[in-house]
Amino acid sequence: MNNQQLIIFTRYPEPGKTKTRLIPALGAEGAASLQFQMTETTITKAQKLSNMMSLLVEVRFAGGNLQLMKNWLGIDLKYQEQGTGDLGERIIRAFESAFERGMKSVVVIGTDCPSLTTEIMLEAFAKLTESDVIIGPATDGGYYLIGLKKIIPELFQGINWGTSEVLSKTVATAQNLNLVIDYLPELSDIDRPEDLENLQF
């Protein structure tokens, strides 16, 4: 049975509504183009991963609509709108729906980390057999990946998303709950103009 799931959070690449912090450096069209490219790169790696292990891949999207997403990324993927609320609330919903479907291991990633490889994603699922929480730390104090074996809403509550305290608060909460945490290599997210020097596909 297919009981492992990878959930990819992304946004439809509409100019002016995506990667807005990069617009001063790239312009609205350039920022949207980067979002387009980073999402497609992530999907390609996810599809490669699904050839290496039994895996359900779901795209949780904001902006656009279901038809636009299918036209863009193809009809073979599972799609779901992210819905309302802050990032924490949207991540909780994604995990909840996966576990309600009987998933045993669920990993959530974004598309802002081009250096995230298929091998690191594979490592995340492997580590999840031994630990409660798997975290891929980002150099900006956030994380590019989080994996769980059951829903733990507290990990996503009371956090100022997009700040440098996301990782430290998440880890502190996990430690308070006596969860076994394991880590992946630290990688760079591409969120702000100064991050662009780290950009590599």
How do residues 112-167 score in pLDDT, each as one tens digit? Answer: 999 999 999 999 999 999 999 999 999 999 999 999 999 999 999 999 998 999 99
Q: How far apart are the first and last CA of the chain?
A: 33
Provide mean pLDDT across the span 31-56.
93
191, pLDDT greater than 80: no
| Mean pLDDT within 77-99 | 96
Query: What is the pLDDT at residue 176?
Result: 97
Which tens digits make up the pLDDT trace of 4-36? 999 999 999 999 888 888 888 888 998 899 899
Contacts of 196 (CB under 8 A, 6+ apart): 22, 25, 26, 190
How high is the pLDDT of residue 197?
A: 74
Cβ 40 vs Cβ 73: under 8 Å? yes
Query: Which domain, by its residues, includes 140?
Result: 4-198
Please state, in angstroms and rounded to a whole number, the distance separating the CA atoms of residues 70 and 126: 30
Residue 20: the pLDDT is: 84
2 or 87: which leads in pLDDT: 87
The model's confidence at residue 99, banded by pLDDT at 50, 70 and 90, is very high
Q: What is the per-residue pLDDT for 131?
A: 97
Q: 9 - beta bridge partners?
A: 60
- Can you give the pLDDT at residue 201? 57
Q: What are the residues whose beta carbons fall under 8 Å from the beta carbon of 43, sequence distance 6 or more?
A: 8, 59, 73, 77
Parallel/antiparallel/unpaired status of strands 105-109 and 143-148: antiparallel
Contact 121, 109 (CB under 8 A): yes
Of 85-94, 124-133, 189-198, which range is least confident?
A: 189-198
The proportion of the chain whose per-residue pLDDT surpasses 70, expressed as a percent, equals 98
Structural domain tally of the chain? 1
Q: Which amino acid is at 200?
A: Q
**Stronger pLDDT, 201 or 163, i.e. the higher one:** 163
* Token representation of residue 174: 């996990």
Q: Angle of helix 23-52 relative to helix 66-73, nearest 10 degrees?
A: 70
Q: Which CATH number does the domain housing residue 107 bear?
A: 3.90.550.10
**Side by side, which strands form the sheet with 105-109?**
78-81, 56-62, 4-11, 105-109, 143-148, 133-137, 181-183
Q: How does the average pLDDT of the chain come out, rounded?
A: 93
Residue 1 has pLDDT above 90, yes or no: no
